[in-house]
Amino acid sequence: MTRIMDAQRDRLPALIRSDFRQTAAETGLDRPSERVMHAMQEVPRHLFVQKAFQDNAYSNAPLPIGHGQTISQPFIVALMTELLELKPSDRVLEIGTGCGYQSAILSLLCKHIYSLEIVPELAKSAAHRLESLGYENVSVRQADGYFGWQEEAPFDGILVAATANGIPDPLLQQLAPGGRMVIPVREPGDAERLKWVLKDAAGQVEVRDTIGVRFVPLTGGER
């Protein structure tokens, strides 16, 4: 690693914890768990970004990964992961594999990740990268994430890394009773807000707002 990268990597945990404190009133979380922070520190983010951006791989900011997509800001990755409240036995659906970074984080915290990516080139490269780095409990498929992965449902957690116009009904249907979903949703005035969704044991759905965010749009089925 370069000295710039090393310095950023050393600072990043403190920056993530600071962002948790600053957004606690909206998220209800004033700090990340040690499990999530261990996963954030364990996964080598520089191996998931393009070489041109590797010196900034550990900045607390999103970075382009090609095809009009981005690797999310580390704080947002940590927050979305924390909101899922994952257990080691959980099975998780991820919509928007991208470069595979969020998949790798999730893989350290639960039993299996089923990840969908609509861009063929990204799906192929992410699957290869995750396999080569030893993340064996991640399955990547090139498909329209709006419709989920029906044959592997239900899921204990669903993470959507793209902004939807509403919460897709196929994903709600595939969320297990007691399951959690984290999804950015477009609001009036072009705003986007991260939503936390809980389906209770009776199948009733509760939706809570958290912070304003900015993601690439969810493409495919909802258009």
Question: Hey, what domains does the chain have and what are their CATH numbers?
Answer: 3-212 (3.40.50.150)
Mean pLDDT of the 87-93 span? 98
The active-site residue out of 18, 33, 59, 72 is 72
3-class DSSP state of 131: helix
pLDDT(12) > 50: yes
Helix (H) or strand (E) holding 69: strand 69-71
Sorted by sequence, the CB contacts under 8 Å of residue 136 that are 6+ apart come out as none
Backbone angles phi, psi at 132, to 5 degrees: -65, -25
SS3 content of the chain, % helix, strand, coil (to 5): 40, 30, 30
Question: For residues 52 and 86, is the Cβ–Cβ distance under 8 A?
Answer: no
Report whether the peptide linkage leading into residue 154 is cis, meaning its omega lies within 30 degrees of zero.
yes
Say how far apart CA 119 and CA 135 lie, in whole Å. 21
pLDDT for 125: 97
Q: How do residues 149-169 score in pLDDT, each as one tens digit?
A: 999 999 999 999 999 999 999
Band the pLDDT of 223: cuts 50, 70, 90: very low
**Residue 143 token pair:** 């498909």
Q: Count the alpha carbons within 13 Å of 84 in the hemisphere toward its beta carbon.
A: 35
Q: How do residues 57-68 score in pLDDT, each as one tens digit?
A: 999 999 999 888
pLDDT(44) > 90: yes
When the pLDDT of each residue in the chain is averaged and rounded to a whole number, the result is 94
Q: How many percent of the chain have pLDDT more than 90?
A: 85
CA 202 to chain centre: 27
pLDDT for 68: 86
CA 70 to chain centre: 12
Mean pLDDT of the 19-39 span? 97
Say how far apart CA 137 and CA 121 lie, in whole Å. 21
pLDDT for 1: 67
Q: How many percent of the chain have pLDDT more than 70?
A: 99
Mean pLDDT of the 21-31 span? 97
pLDDT(139) > 60: yes
Question: For residues 137 and 111, is the Cβ–Cβ distance under 8 A?
Answer: yes
72 is catalytic: yes
pLDDT for 219: 83
